[in-house]
Amino acid sequence: MTTMKIAVLPGDGIGTEIMAEAVKVLKALELPLELETAPVGGAAYEAAGHPLPESTLKLAQAADAVLFGAVGDWKYDKLERALRPEQAILGLRKHLGLFANFRPAICYPQLTHASSLKPELVAGLDILIIRELTGDIYFGQPRGRRTAVDGHFPGSEEAFDTMRYSRPEIERIAHVAFQAARKRNNKVTSVDKANVLETFQFWKDVVTEVHAQYPDVELEHMYVDNAAMQLVKAPKKFDVVVTGNMFGDILSDEAAMLTGSIGMLPSASLDKNNKGLYEPSHGSAPDIAGQGIANPLATILSAAMMLKFSLNQPEAAARIETAVQSVLAQGLRTADIWSEGTTKVGTREMGDAVLAALNGAQSGMTTKTIKG
């Protein structure tokens, strides 16, 4: 089997802690993996003066997949925007051509009581949010008079960012959504704000045109404010949700909380050839960094997505997913998903438990794989 090269980018805050557990699990699979680590985000700024150094970018470009931790810290908030840690992930998406962000929101049976909603609303929840990554307001032309000293706008009267989408950008993400729906329940909800924004009237029109090529898939259009409401009112009515960059950022975090904790949510960002960057949906959480209490499961599950989508190792991915379910069934919980009657463990202990379950998989476990 050909060696598969993985760029490991732990980043900042809890990134190093959760990444250590994911790497531990990957190494236990005994696959021909070559893992190389490089700094990114604030750690890279401290080391090289830029959140995405050329050496890190080249490593990511040469790899078969990228496993990413988290970036950011409050101490960098006064830097000019181009040097802030978060620019690393935006730069990687741009340079690697990553345009489709898969964010599954699955409520595992063992965590229905950890959700902020009633168990009957989230039991069996399995949503796939597909977020477009290269257009929208995040990449529109910004305007404002920001100072280079503290990154703010003293004395300015206005600032604005332009929202834009091109036809090819919308068409390709629509194809991804309809194709993903065919592997699931043949339903797509396209989320927009077409009643107010011309950009999203254009989005709605193009998605509708692409839908004509997928007559077997049901398509509904929904305004983003209604979608936000329905996610907490009747979340199981959704299956595949496709939307723009900003709406997808917000809605996927909302959906994450339906599952019990954002610490459970993996994600994948893919290019046209399914090469991807894989990361937990949560951030760097500098307030708990170094305490050994962060939940590593989202990163471990992101590694499973990497094995499935980019490295063509679905059996290995299923082994990891089953091991995670086994650990949850044992009642082990990090602080973010802990409840009375379960056992609270730290970051390393949770990683060790997944590793033990992986090496001695219990027979008869039901595998809940991430569809898409």
Catalytic residues: 138, 193, 225, 249, 253
Question: In this structure, what token pair is assigned to residue 291?
Answer: 């305490």
In the DSSP assignment, the letter for residue 235 is G
Question: In this structure, what token pair is assigned to residue 80?
Answer: 């000019």
Helix (H, G, I), strand (E, B) or coil at 212: coil
Annotate 43-89 with three-state secondary structure: HHHHHHCCCCCHHHHHHHHHCCEEEEEECCCHHHCCCCHHHCCCHHH
Q: Is there a contact between 207 and 190 (Cβ–Cβ < 8 Å)? A: yes
Consecutive H or E run containing 10: strand 4-11
Counting every residue, how long is the chain? 372
Helix (H, G, I), strand (E, B) or coil at 9: strand
Q: Are strands 266-270 and 240-243 parallel, antiparallel or unpaired?
A: unpaired
Say what the alpha-carbon torsion angle 205, 268, 71, 4 is, to the nearest 10 degrees: -140
Q: Is there a contact between 152 and 188 (Cβ–Cβ < 8 Å)? A: no
Beta bridge partners of 143: 160
